[in-house]
Structure 1
Amino acid sequence: MTTPTATELGTRWLASAGLRPTRQRVALAALLVGDGMDRHVTAESLFAASMQTDERVSLATVYNTLRAFCDAGLMQEVVVDGSKSYFDTRMDDHPHFFWEDSGELTDAPADQLEIARLPDAPAGTEVAKVDVVIRLKRA
């Protein structure tokens, strides 16, 4: 049995969410999931990675494609500082480390996180999700 290529894995990933496999989507999907590893990317870092391939796409296309992937449930957006967005291919609920010195976002061990209690949601609302980003700096 042959190992699937990055393009094949990307195409399957798109199909799992019912997304049409356009040339640009397949190219970006291959970069995101083509090796089977989870990724935390910014639009700019994915754009830079795409520039190293034969299938170049514009930065606007990268932004639009990441939004489509999030809307389809393939990725989740992690906002740091209210202005910097990272896009995560790992879809389960899990905390993140944000490394202030390098600007890198990595997964934090979920089994070590305990949230004992949340504040009551205001009347007429419910908690949809809790995002945990732990900011780190070198000592």
Structure 2
Amino acid sequence: MKTELKIASDADLAALLRQHDILPTTQRVLIARTMFKHCAHLSAEDVFRLVNAENRHVSKATVYNTLGLFAAKRVIREVIADPARIFYDPNTQPHHHFYDVASGALTDISADQIRVSGLPPLPTGSKLEGIDVIVRLSPEK
């Protein structure tokens, strides 16, 4: 499942950031463009490499901080499929993931392909925000 995101220009990206109460600096727009252009599950290191591939000079700290901000403001999703690697996903619609332990690849699973039942009662004063299912795969032996 690959979601088509209709972000045509830097002006569209700046408007998207403003809608999420984020000041659209040049570096933030560049990082957003990288995320939405590739429309893939990227690590912060992937984003850092891609942003700077065109001879840019965006610091690693700026990339990490910006991705954290984007995730906190729900411009993108943070997916922790492995304790050693966090992925950032531009698809914020409800969906789940396959995680290939051997290759490190993360693949979308449509939300309607998984049913979760039997949840315990939620603690008093809380509401369900979402359920994220990660199906870990390894090669057959």
Q: TM-score, normalised by structure 1?
A: 0.81
Give the share of equivalent positions with the same residue, in percent.
33
Provide the residue aligned with 1:98 in structure 2: 99
Call closer, same or farther: CA 1:15–1:125 in 2, change over 3 Å. Answer: closer
1:71-120, Cα deviation, whole Å (9 max, x unpaired): 22201211123342111111122111111111121211322111122123
Provide the residue aligned with 1:18 in structure 2: 21
2:132 is paired with a residue of what secondary structure?
Answer: coil
Q: For 2:73, give the aligned amino acid.
A: A
Provide the residue aligned with 2:112 in structure 1: 111
Matches within 5 A, 1:20-99: 20-33=23-36, 35=37, 38-99=39-100
Higher RCO, 1 or 2 (CA under 8 Å, sep at least 6)? 2
Give, in angstroms, the shift of residue 122 of structure 1: 4.4
1:41-96, Cα deviation, whole Å (9 max, x unpaired): 11111111112123331111111000111122201211123342111111122111
Q: Note the aligned Cα RMSD (angstroms).
A: 2.2
Aligned-partner Cα distance in 2 for 1:67–1:29: 12
Count of residues paired in the alignment? 134
Q: Structure 1: any 5+ residue segments left out of the alignment? A: none
Call closer, same or farther: CA 1:82–1:124 in 2, change over 3 Å. Answer: farther
Give, in angstroms, the shift of residue 25 of structure 1: 0.4
Q: For 1:78, give the aligned amino acid.
A: V
Q: Structure 2: any 5+ residue segments left out of the alignment? A: 1-6
Q: TM-score, normalised by structure 2?
A: 0.80
Aligned-partner Cα distance in 2 for 1:84–1:114: 26
